[in-house]
Amino acid sequence: MSKSYVNLLDLASGNFPTMEGKRRRFPRVNTAPGNLSDVDDDQARSVSSDQPSSIASDRMIIVANQLPVKANRREDNKGWIFSWNEDALLLHLKDGLPEDMEVLYVGSLKVSVDPREQDDVSQVLLDKFRCVPTFLPPDILSKFYDGFCKRHLWPLFHYMLPFSADQGGRFDRSLWEAYISANKLFFQKVVELINPDEDYVWIHDYHLMVLPTFLRRRFNRVRIGFFLHSPFPSSEIYSTLTVREEILKALLNSDVIGFHTFDYARHFLTCCSRMLGLAYQSKRGYLGLEFYGRTIRIKIMPVGVHMDWIESVMKVADEESKMAELKQKFQGKTMLLGVDDTDIFKGINLKLLAMEQMLKQHPRWQGKAVLVQILNPARGKGIDFEEILAEIQESCRRINEQFGRPGYEPIILIDRAVSINERICYYNIAECVVVTAVRDGMNLTPYEYVVCRQGITGSKSCSNFDGPKKSMLVVSEFIGCSPSLSGAIRINPWNVETTGEAMNVAISMLDSEKELRHEKHYRYVSTHDVAYWSRSFLQDMQRACADHFKRRCWGIGFGFGFRVVALDPNFRKLSLDAIISAYRGAQTRAILLDYDGTVMPQNSIDKSPSQKVISIMNTLCTDPKNTVFIVTGRGRESLSKWFSPCQRLGIAAEHGYFLRWSQNQEWEICRQGFEFGWMKIVEPVMQLYTESTDGSSIETKESALVWQYRDADPGFGSSQAKEMLDHLESVLANEPVAVKKGQFIVEVKPQEVSKGHVAEKIFSSMAENGKHADFVLCIGDDRSDEDMFEIFDNAMLRSILSPNPSVFACTVGQKPSKATYYLDDTTEVINMLECLSEAFDSLPPVEEGCESSP
């Protein structure tokens, strides 16, 4: 292990000291036993109750970088004044949660609090706001937020690569360490108040992406949701991040991972596929990612606005003089409005250039059209802030000089913080809102505008909001809300000419068309508000965590390689003690072994068996009580050559189409007289896909054709395999063959040829010879091996085995399977077989080197 990772593993392991100082009073005590200091001393100590407690009701703990609270010093500088930040999304999401669900917030404050005041501030926030503040030391805060978050993650997630030190910056490990330290501090606050059996933990945004690992390590069954409010980049961009796998694995310790759009979710899933080798599936309407026996739900749900709050602000704005002032100022003008944070990804200067283009191409708007651009203060020390602001101001000056006249400026720049009340007034007057972000997470400005243009429900006729219900939107196709606004004019903000034309179309459109588009938008925005979003996310968390307490869970791995293995109570690791004891007590044994992925590693280039495997097979076959078979999809020629030293070894080749009991016997064929004319249909189809899929190949067997794509691009290969499967099933509909997709293969073989059928045939033949097996060991790793595992549930099978056989159906790897047992890899399989080969009756129970599994 590299030296640079040592301190990171200490941080990620959970080995931090018990918190000292005055203990604050929390609404409910932590019901989990144990000290924080012994989190990583023994994995068995991880808190995971076998049954959920019924003492308290569910709570939601919302964890975010910042609390939805405003903090200001008192005028006398003695103490603080706190109030809710009504503009904060996290404050409003509780409206979608059940009324009886208690909501607590964990996060930091925007202000610096003196350490001497922190305990008092914490108590006030807890008592009055149900908030638990996390106080980050200044050195960690700077490196965590302004450093790793804003100079590494934020640019990268917005598709900006660090080509040079001044463009995102090179990776700085000290900033990554600060990011971990900050996440650990948030974790400590959650631990202070969590009841792991009852509470839900909902983590928000890229600031806290490794927090799920800290929580999962401490509480194996805790219910965790994570929502990313920023874009997630494509795998080509994300793969440049030095700690890419650590962050992915940390996120996978969540139960639900949410994204605004399918594109963002697809990028995340592709990264998991390419970097971690994980495959996802669509399961009854949701996307599921299998990870060590746990299914992580992928939630795609764009966030909404808080309808009631916006309407209440509209009522206040309606009574203020600002509305009348703005109406008088822009009387006779057509206003286009932009509301953006001042950062490099909002495309503000592109918007100004598009306005210039519109005025050039459509001179009739000169003197009439006005673009009001509100520049919200930057949220952090972003990249190139001063340069971007200077560029915007220069473009504004130049365009106003070119097209301005006395009493008219085509661009009005508002470079200050604008209150929500004033923003509502601008929404009410604007004929069109323009968003030209080159990359953005959600951007709720269009939603807010649509709600404001709808007016106040039941308002008096003289209200400023009482007017035609119409709105127009020109939005970038690169923002999260774009897919949901089907009536908006979508633009590529980099194309200034088309953006300018779109702005002209928007303000020139007939009112009737504007009203229809507005109605469509309002219908969506009003039904998909923030309450709908949070309610839907909670429901997904409840579904994802429904069986948490029905499964056996334990943690494995170090650092950010930590993960929880969740298995069915009846699915457990094969114990050497148990199988050796049953092996010694048996009189007739049947041992059926797959080859690739079972006794031969999948990634091995040389596929011939090692001398150790040959020796083990020979020793097992020497015992007269044993009937040993290699049951595989490989052809009989290579198998005969490889296992020629094993005289008494049985081989079932090509999934049992060919069967041989020992080397001195002839091959048996599953079905005599079988026609293979279908191969002439299949081979050209496979050849077509092979030519168009680099890294794929065709394996021709005597009874089957196999298309392999292990060396192809994972995403493209899988897509081609699905397409080929459909293609072959359609052209072979009337042929007596089966088309199956396996691990990096698509195989066409005769019907009724499977490992399950050949296993039954072996057991039946043994029974006919008076050898009813009372010990059965069946090991495999692929989907085709599941056919062997499921036959043991067949009642008919009871008559071809002894009345009470010891059956060990074992899969390789911890994954959903019809087998009852598992071993982790081929090394464990070979070690177990070696122990069996040495387990003669005269030997002690377990020799050195064949220790029992933990």
Based on the fold, state whether residues 586 and 509 are members of the same structural domain. Answer: no
User: 36 or 810: whose pLDDT is higher?
Assistant: 810
Is the Cβ–Cβ distance between 248 and 267 less than 8 Å?
no
Which of 592, 615, 604 shows the shortest CA–CA distance to 811? 592
Cα(135)–Cα(105) distance, rounded to whole angstroms? 14
Helix (H, G, I), strand (E, B) or coil at 739: strand
Looking at residue 121, which CATH number applies to its domain? 3.40.50.2000
Tell me the average pLDDT of the chain.
Answer: 85
- At 56 the pLDDT is 44
Based on the fold, state whether residues 269 and 383 are members of the same structural domain. Answer: no
User: 733 or 230: whose pLDDT is higher?
Assistant: 230
CA distances from 519 to 283, 315, 456, 491, 514 (A): 34, 21, 15, 21, 9
pLDDT reading at 28 higher than 90: no
Answer yes or no: is 206 within a domain: yes
- At 31 the pLDDT is 40
Cα(563)–Cα(577) distance, rounded to whole angstroms? 27
Phi-psi region of 771 (alpha: psi -120 to 50; beta: other; left: phi over 0): beta
The token pair that represents 578 in the structure block: 């148990």
Cα(412)–Cα(345) distance, rounded to whole angstroms? 20
Query: Which ranges in 244-291 belong to alpha helices (H)?
Result: 244-251, 262-276
Based on the fold, state whether residues 484 and 519 are members of the same structural domain. Answer: yes
Contacts 24+ apart (CB under 8 A), 241-244: 241/152, 241/156, 241/171, 242/171, 242/176, 243/171, 243/176, 244/271, 244/275
In the numeric block, the tokens 């609270």 are attached to 69
| Confidence label for 853 from pLDDT (cuts 50, 70 and 90) | very low
In the numeric block, the tokens 């909501």 are attached to 103
Answer yes or no: is 462 within a domain: no
Neighbours of 35 (CB within 10 A): 10
> Where are the strands (E) in 332-481, listed by range?
334-341, 369-376, 411-414, 432-435, 473-476
| Average pLDDT estimate for 503-512 | 95
pLDDT reading at 555 higher than 60: yes
| Confidence label for 402 from pLDDT (cuts 50, 70 and 90) | very high
| Average pLDDT estimate for 204-215 | 96
DSSP string covering 22-64, please?
Answer: PPPP-SS-----S-GGGTTT-GGGSB--SS---SS--EEEEEE
- At 792 the pLDDT is 78
Please write the tens of the pLDDT for every residue from 304-347. Answer: 999 999 988 988 887 777 888 999 999 999 999 999 998 889 99
Report CA 746 to chain centroid distance, whole Å: 27
Burial 196-235 (b: 16+ CB within 10 A, else e): bbbbbbbbbbbbbbbbbbbbbbbbbbbbbbbbbbbbbbeb
- At 466 the pLDDT is 63
Which range is least confidently modeled, 206-220, 472-486, 737-751? 737-751
Answer yes or no: is 243 within a domain: yes
- At 675 the pLDDT is 79
Cα(491)–Cα(473) distance, rounded to whole angstroms? 10
pLDDT reading at 843 higher than 70: no
pLDDT reading at 2 higher than 50: no
Fill in the amino acid letter for 54: S
Based on the fold, state whether residues 581 and 632 are members of the same structural domain. Answer: yes
Based on the fold, state whether residues 599 and 704 are members of the same structural domain. Answer: no
DSSP string covering 204-215, please?
Answer: ESGGGTTHHHHH
DSSP string covering 338-363, please?
Answer: EEEESSTTS-HHHHHHHHHHHHHH-G
- At 808 the pLDDT is 94
Number of H helices, E strands in the chain: 27, 32
In the numeric block, the tokens 């929880």 are attached to 564
- At 21 the pLDDT is 40
> Where are the strands (E) in 47-198, listed by range?
59-66, 69-73, 80-84, 102-108, 131-133
Based on the fold, state whether residues 75 and 175 are members of the same structural domain. Answer: yes
- At 125 the pLDDT is 96
Rounded-to-5 percentages of helix, strand, coil across the chain? 40, 20, 40
Which range is least confidently modeled, 81-85, 669-673, 821-825? 669-673
User: 14 or 693: whose pLDDT is higher?
Assistant: 693
- At 784 the pLDDT is 84
Which of 202, 258, 252 shows the shortest CA–CA distance to 441? 258
pLDDT reading at 769 higher than 80: yes
Based on the fold, state whether residues 625 and 513 are members of the same structural domain. Answer: no
Please write the tens of the pLDDT for every residue from 345-383. Answer: 999 999 999 999 999 999 999 999 999 999 988 776 655
| Confidence label for 539 from pLDDT (cuts 50, 70 and 90) | very high
- At 468 the pLDDT is 64
- At 89 the pLDDT is 92
* Strand (E) or helix (H) holding 808: strand 801-812
Helix (H, G, I), strand (E, B) or coil at 624: coil
Based on the fold, state whether residues 771 and 633 are members of the same structural domain. Answer: yes
Please write the tens of the pLDDT for every residue from 695-716. Answer: 999 989 888 899 999 888 888 8
Which range is least confidently modeled, 209-223, 286-300, 344-358, 838-852? 838-852
| Average pLDDT estimate for 461-488 | 83
Cα(119)–Cα(133) distance, rounded to whole angstroms? 10
- Name the most confidently modeled range: 40-49, 242-251, 271-280: 242-251
Cα(43)–Cα(793) distance, rounded to whole angstroms? 35
| Confidence label for 37 from pLDDT (cuts 50, 70 and 90) | very low
Answer yes or no: is 549 within a domain: no
Neighbours of 258 (CB within 10 A): 26
Single pTM value for the model: 0.78
The token pair that represents 326 in the structure block: 């703005």
CA distances from 799 to 364, 755, 764, 792 (A): 92, 19, 9, 11
**In total, how many domains does the chain have?**
4
Please write the tens of the pLDDT for every residue from 654-704. Answer: 988 899 999 889 999 876 667 788 999 999 999 999 999 999 999 898 888
Based on the fold, state whether residues 376 and 273 are members of the same structural domain. Answer: no
> Where are the strands (E) in 90-166, listed by range?
102-108, 131-133
**What percentage of residues in the chain have a pLDDT greater than 70?**
86
Fill in the amino acid letter for 434: V
Answer yes or no: is 241 within a domain: yes
Based on the fold, state whether residues 601 and 616 are members of the same structural domain. Answer: yes
Based on the fold, state whether residues 215 and 134 are members of the same structural domain. Answer: yes
Length of the chain: 854
- At 163 the pLDDT is 66
pLDDT reading at 205 higher than 50: yes
Q: Up-side HSE of residue 849: CA atoms within 13 Å toward CB? A: 9
Q: What is the CA radius of gyration of the chain?
A: 33
Please write the tens of the pLDDT for every residue from 582-601. Answer: 999 999 999 999 999 999 98
CA distances from 442 to 449, 478, 552, 677 (A): 14, 10, 38, 56
Neighbours of 773 (CB within 10 A): 24
* Strand (E) or helix (H) holding 258: strand 256-259
- At 573 the pLDDT is 87
- At 383 the pLDDT is 59
Angle of helix 511-527 versus helix 445-454 axis, rounded to 10: 110
- CB within 8 A of 255, min separation 6: which ones? 223, 224, 225, 294, 296, 297, 541, 544, 545
The domain containing residue 274 runs over which residues? 60-300
Strand partners, 773: 801
The residue from 697, 724, 750 where one domain ends is 750
The residue from 750, 772, 803 where one domain ends is 750
* DSSP designation for 585: H
Please write the tens of the pLDDT for every residue from 140-187. Answer: 999 999 999 998 999 999 998 876 555 556 788 999 999 999 999 999
| Average pLDDT estimate for 106-111 | 95
- At 459 the pLDDT is 56
Answer yes or no: is 617 within a domain: yes
Based on the fold, state whether residues 768 and 736 are members of the same structural domain. Answer: no
pLDDT reading at 3 higher than 60: no
The residue from 720, 750, 780 where one domain ends is 750
Answer yes or no: is 276 within a domain: yes
Is the Cβ–Cβ distance between 280 and 272 less than 8 Å?
yes
Looking at residue 697, which CATH number applies to its domain? 3.90.1070.10
Please write the tens of the pLDDT for every residue from 792-822. Answer: 766 455 678 888 889 999 999 877 788 889 9
Cα(104)–Cα(107) distance, rounded to whole angstroms? 10
- At 800 the pLDDT is 85
Answer yes or no: is 850 within a domain: no
Please write the tens of the pLDDT for every residue from 717-735. Answer: 888 999 999 999 989 888 8
- At 165 the pLDDT is 57
- At 302 the pLDDT is 92
Fill in the amino acid letter for 184: K
Looking at residue 648, which CATH number applies to its domain? 3.40.50.1000
pLDDT reading at 46 higher than 50: no
pLDDT reading at 840 higher than 90: no
Is the Cβ–Cβ distance between 662 and 647 less than 8 Å?
yes
